[in-house]
């Protein structure tokens, strides 16, 4: 018989986790329960003695003693109950951590085929909300039944000592309750299973809608998706109503039987007391004991309901993930980085329903051989690639890796030998660096890679075309102050290089900051303040209440001008939104933020209805005006003379309010190298940096600091800057610093901040850094342009000559770079040979090639 220790996690009963974990805390809980039972029963005897001894004998001294003991027992009973509750929570959460961690590891180890039928919404719901529902039960699984049973037995014994007959009458109703409640509970369990299934279906539907939001919005299928979820919402409503009918039916039944006990006690016990056969004190004690007796009985009944609920949820979770894991390593073993070979013999792969995707595949791949897999869509190339990596498993045929049957190889051995690069790689949350280092097993514990890994990393990204992307991403980042301090001199040096060597070329694509000119590609806030405050005191949202800014507005009477501009912008933007559909990209190019729409709608409504604006509403209009970029937004034309008023206000702000001296433009600094503008303040507060040639702007990205100006934002402008900046940094040995910043770029959820091509480059770098003997590339460069594909192919052919490469290629003109070409059709290998051999045959590959390259 299978030992419990070897049971699959999905085969373990719920109490497996309770009995085998937190045994020390469980023993402490047991001891506390025993103490609490004593203090829960003592007050019953004290009630009897207070009535029969202290009160009947009129002994106040004895009354005080008994009352003191009574309140002490009640207090200690409450404290032990508090301790029991806390221990239950701690035990439950500790067991839940273990359960969730082991279950998550089991889910990660499931074969890839299982994930094809596993809906993400159901898995997420099971791992989060459903497991949380079990956590409360795990802590009380032993404590509640043990406490309740002990308390019930002790109280029942005490009642029996007072009156055996009344005790028998009192418990006579319990058998009926034991019959009725389980029947109702079974109905409840059945509907609870339906509730869980429906909630999972809702999670899947919402998850699917979020992932397919582009198609939903493109095809205007809002109502259809709403109706899909609406059906499930109504279904859940009906289930919950039915569920609560049984839930409250159980509660009603329990309360009814609870009320039957006192009825019988008053009827029979009252009769005995009137006849003098039962003392008044004993009757009071018996009535109190009955209440104490019903408390553990009710706790047992509620525990039974919670157990049934937890059991149903647990079974639903384990059924969802009930699949055998892939072979796991007994221990880590060193990776073999020497070239490896693969041998496939009569390999078949069939889906459920007898759908055959691969048939009789026989293939030998020698060490260091570069193989191209080609064929029309659906021919089985990707399925074969996944079988080679043992991400899929076949029941028919064999695959030998280094002479070993792969069905007998541990997962760690296969992973050390083979790395797969998919066409649509997954990018994890974090930085680009995190994603590239992900394939290294020590990347979790080693935040800073070794010099050898860093050198290999830089070599790889330079040869796969990721270097330019990282330079641009690095230039777009705002480094934190501690990192900016280290980079400051390098960035200022880059600024000097660009302004001295590339001033003419950049003049067409960059509007440089100049104290004496109006900036059309900068915000009105930047035009007025012409600098940055590290503390953020001059941010647009803070300016309307800033004393310095208010003084500036008063000097040039700009308050009404900016207020009028802000109102005009609000009206125009709201009008655009009413006439056209917009998305996130609209608001990225708009001075108004999406979450502010309602605020500005309220402001315009107030004005249209003749209501005066509040100070806060005026401030909101001022903020909108300060975000306005004339050349970028182009929504309205500035009034004549407005630009000159801005320049005059800027000069007053810098010289009269902040007392900034000697802040020359970059042109003047080039002409007068002896007098560089530093933009410092005479009060040395260091809380303001002007847009001056020698000053670093801590609140701006690297690109703005290097250019000391604004990019004019056309596609051609950006390409020109990327190329010029890259060439300049490389010539002056500053590439590593800017690339390091690019590696720290945050990629967003699932790499949402990266393009498709950048994701593929990151995935290729991640794989190559592992230095595996075998690389399987499943159209790994499909999202890249022809130049980038050619660059990566050259790198593979030249630098990975000793590695075994199996590449599914979509561009057949690249097939000439491979040692052998395997042509597939309808799940079978139909041709194999070198590029020249297959072209001379003029068969399947020849036709595929000329269909793609007429």
Burial of 589: CB neighbours in 10 Å, binned 0-12, 13-18, 19+: exposed
Point out the least confidently predicted range of 620-634, 647-661, 666-680.
Answer: 666-680
Reduced to 3 states (helix: H, G, I; strand: E, B; else coil), residue 239 is: helix
SS3 call for 347: strand
- Of 146-150, 177-181, 203-207, 611-615, least confident by mean pLDDT is 177-181
Mean pLDDT of 307-316: 81
Tell me: the pLDDT tens digits for 179-204?
777 788 788 878 888 887 888 788 77
> Rounded to two decimals, what is the model's pTM?
0.69
Q: Return the HEC string of 428-460.
A: CCCEHHHHHHHHCCCCCCCCCCCHHHHHHHHHH
- State residue 531 phi and psi, 5-degree precision: 175, 180
Q: Compute the average pLDDT of residues 349-372.
A: 88
Cβ atoms 670, 499 nearer than 8 A: yes
Instruction: Report the CATH superfamily, name and number, of domain 4-320.
Output: ABC transporter type 1, transmembrane domain (1.20.1560.10)
CA distance 647 to 270: 99
Domains 4-320 and 327-427+754-854 in one fold: no
619 against 290, higher pLDDT: 619
- Over residues 207-255, the pLDDT tens digits come to 777 766 656 765 567 787 888 888 888 888 888 898 888 888 877 877 7
Instruction: Give the per-residue pLDDT at 676.
Output: 40
Torsion, CA 617, CA 622, CA 627, CA 631, rounded to 10: 120
- State the pLDDT at residue 286: 65
- CA 234 remoteness from chain centre: 29
Q: What's the pLDDT tens digit per position in 153-172?
A: 777 777 777 667 766 766 66
What pLDDT score was predicted for residue 1?
38
Contact assessment for residue 779 and residue 377, using Cβ atoms and an 8 Å cutoff: no
Angle between helices 559-579 and 597-608 (to 10 degrees): 110
30-75 pLDDT, tens digit per residue, is 888 888 877 777 776 777 777 777 777 777 778 888 888 888 888 8
The ranges assigned to domains in the chain are: 4-320, 327-427+754-854, 490-713
CA dist list (Å): 598 to 562, 593, 603, 808? 21, 10, 9, 52
Mean pLDDT computed over 264-282: 64
The reported pLDDT for the residue numbered 2 is 40
> So what's the pLDDT on residue 274?
67
Confidence of residue 447 (pLDDT cuts 50, 70, 90): low
pLDDT confidence of residue 501: 65
Mean pLDDT, the chain, whole residue set? 80
CATH domain 327-427+754-854 topology: Rossmann fold (3.40.50)
Please answer whether residues 73 and 46 qualify as being in contact, where contact means their C-beta atoms are separated by less than 8 angstroms.
Answer: yes
Two structure tokens written together for 393? 């498993």
Residues 6+ apart with CB under 8 A from 642: 561
């Amino acid at each position: 018989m299978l030992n419990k220790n070897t049971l699959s996690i999905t085969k373990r009963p719920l109490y497996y986790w309770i009995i085998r974990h937190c045994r020390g805390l469980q023993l402490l809980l047991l001891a506390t329960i025993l103490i609490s039972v004593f203090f829960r029963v003592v007050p019953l005897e004290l009630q009897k003695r207070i009535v029969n001894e202290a009160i009947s004998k009129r002994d106040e001294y004895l009354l005080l003693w008994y009352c003191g003991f009574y309140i002490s027992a009640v207090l200690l009973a409450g404290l032990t109950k508090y301790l029991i509750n806390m221990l239950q929570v701690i035990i439950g959460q500790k067991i839940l951590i273990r359960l969730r961690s082991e279950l998550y590891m089991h889910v990660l180890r499931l074969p890839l085929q299982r994930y094809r039928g596993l809906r993400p919404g159901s898995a997420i719901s099971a791992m989060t909300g459903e497991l949380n529902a079990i956590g409360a039960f795990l802590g009380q699984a032993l404590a509640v039944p043990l406490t309740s049973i002990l308390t019930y037995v002790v109280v029942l014994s005490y009642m029996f000592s007072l009156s055996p007959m009344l005790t028998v009458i009192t418990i006579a109703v319990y058998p009926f309750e034991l019959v009725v409640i389980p029947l109702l509970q079974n109905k409840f369990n059945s509907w609870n299973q339906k509730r869980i299934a429906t909630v999972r279906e809702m999670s899947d539907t919402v998850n699917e809608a979020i992932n397919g939001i582009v198609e939903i919005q493109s095809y205007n299928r809002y109502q259809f998706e709403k109706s899909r979820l609406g059906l499930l919402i109504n279904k859940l409503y009906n289930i919950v109503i039915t569920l609560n009918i049984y839930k409250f039916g159980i509660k009603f039944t329990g309360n009814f039987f609870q009320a039957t006990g006192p009825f019988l006690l008053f009827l029979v016990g009252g009769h005995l007391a009137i006849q003098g056969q039962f003392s008044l004190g004993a009757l009071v004690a018996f009535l109190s004991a009955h209440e104490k007796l019903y408390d553990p009985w009710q706790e047992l009944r509620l525990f039974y309901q919670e157990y049934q609920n937890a059991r149903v949820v647990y079974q639903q979770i384990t059924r969802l993930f009930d699949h055998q894991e892939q072979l796991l390593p007994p221990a880590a073993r060193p990776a073999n980085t020497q070239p490896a070979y693969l041998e496939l013999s009569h390999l078949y792969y069939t889906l459920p329903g007898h759908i055959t995707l691969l048939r009789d595949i026989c293939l030998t791949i020698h060490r260091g051989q570069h193989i191209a897999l080609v064929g029309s869509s659906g021919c089985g190339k990707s399925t074969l690639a996944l079988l080679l990596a043992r991400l899929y498993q076949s029941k028919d045929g064999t695959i030998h890796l280094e002479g070993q049957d792969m069905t007998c190889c541990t997962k760690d051995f296969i992973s050390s030998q083979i790395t797969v690069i998919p066409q649509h790689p997954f990018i994890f949350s974090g930085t680009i660096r995190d994603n590239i280092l992900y394939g290294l097993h020590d990347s979790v514990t080693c935040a800073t890679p070794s010099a050898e890994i860093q050198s290999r990393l830089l070599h790889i990204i330079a040869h796969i075309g990721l270097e330019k992307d990282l330079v641009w991403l690095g230039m777009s980042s705002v480094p934190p102050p501690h990192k900016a301090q280290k980079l400051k001199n390098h960035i200022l040096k880059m600024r000097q290089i660009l302004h001295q060597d590339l001033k003419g070329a950049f003049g067409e694509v960059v509007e440089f900051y100049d104290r004496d000119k109006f900036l059309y590609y900068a915000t009105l806030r930047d035009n007025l303040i012409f600098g940055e405050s590290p503390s953020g005191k001059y941010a647009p949202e803070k300016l309307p209440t800033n004393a310095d800014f208010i003084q500036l507005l008063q000097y040039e009477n700009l308050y009404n001008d900016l207020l009028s501009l802000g109102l005009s912008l609000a009206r125009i933007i709201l009008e655009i939104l009413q006439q056209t559909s917009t998305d996130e990209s609209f608001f990225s190019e708009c001075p108004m933020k999406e979450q502010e729409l309602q605020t500005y709608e309220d402001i315009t409504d107030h004005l249209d209805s003749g209501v005066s604006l509040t100070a806060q509403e005026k401030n909101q209009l001022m903020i909108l005006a300060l975000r306005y970029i004339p050349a970028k937004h182009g929504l309205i034309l500035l009034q004549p003379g407005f630009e000159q008023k801005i320049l005059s206000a800027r000069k007053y702000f810098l010289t009269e309010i902040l007392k900034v001296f000697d802040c020359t433009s970059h042109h003047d600094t080039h002409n007068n190298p002896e007098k560089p503008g530093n933009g410092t303040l005479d009060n040395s507060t260091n809380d303001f940096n002007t847009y001056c040639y020698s000053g670093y702007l801590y609140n701006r990205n690297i690109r703005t600091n290097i250019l000391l100006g604004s990019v004019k934002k056309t596609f051609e402008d950006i390409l020109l800057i990327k190329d010029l900046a890259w060439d300049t940094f490389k010539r002056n040995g500053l590439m590593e610093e800017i690339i390091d910043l690019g590696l720290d770029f945050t990629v967003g959820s699932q790499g949402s901040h990266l393009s498709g091509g950048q994701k593929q480059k990151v995935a290729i770098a991640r794989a190559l850094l592992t230095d595996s003997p075998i690389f399987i590339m499943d159209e790994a460069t499909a999202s890249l342009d022809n130049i980038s594909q050619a660059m990566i192919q050259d790198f593979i052919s030249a630098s990975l000559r000793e590695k075994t490469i199996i590449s599914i290629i979509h561009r057949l003109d690249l097939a000439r770079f491979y040692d052998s070409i395997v042509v597939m059709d309808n799940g079978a290998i139909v041709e194999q040979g070198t590029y020249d051999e297959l072209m001379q045959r003029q068969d399947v590959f020849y036709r595929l090639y000329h269909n793609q390259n007429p």
